[in-house]
Structure 1
Amino acid sequence: MKFGEKLIQLRRKEGMSQEQLAAEIGITRQSVSKWESGGSLR
């Protein structure tokens, strides 16, 4: 399982949106989206 797939799985298990996760860890929602799509791992 790739990082993005695992992130989606864990985020959904916790019932969090991309925006909620981003706010929790202090990044933008766009960054979470890129991680989940495999566009960027930075």
Structure 2
Amino acid sequence: MKTAGIHKQLQELRKDKGKTQEELAEVFGVTNQAVSKWESGACYPDTALLPEIANYFGVSLDFLFGLPALGPG
């Protein structure tokens, strides 16, 4: 099963929230170049930022990584 990667999820979530890369960078204390690289898949956010990013967008870490919802077998 192919899933969207974190880079696609971040880009879609940011656009859905109506934020620019610059605005998102300011929220997380990084450069807009960092956000651009996250969204292009050139690099990933620091793992310490992942819960903060998921919380900001109101999604789970699984969703952020593009993983399917897991439930009881």
TM-score interval, smaller chain: over 0.9
Unaligned runs of 5+ in 1: none
Tell me how far apart the structure 1 counterparts of residues 14 and 32 of structure 2 sit (CA, whole Å): 13
- TM-score scaled by structure 1? 0.94
- Deviation (angstroms), 1:13: 0.5
Q: Which of residues 6, 18, 24 is equivalent to 2:21? A: 18
Q: Tell me the matched-pair count.
A: 42
Identity across the alignment (%): 43
- List 4+ stretches of structure 1 deviating above 3 A: none
Aligned to 1:39, the other structure's residue is in SS state coil
TM-score, length of structure 2 as denominator length: 0.56
Q: Going by fraction, where is helix more abundant, 1 or 2?
A: 1
Which residue number in structure 1 is paired with residue 31 of structure 2?
28
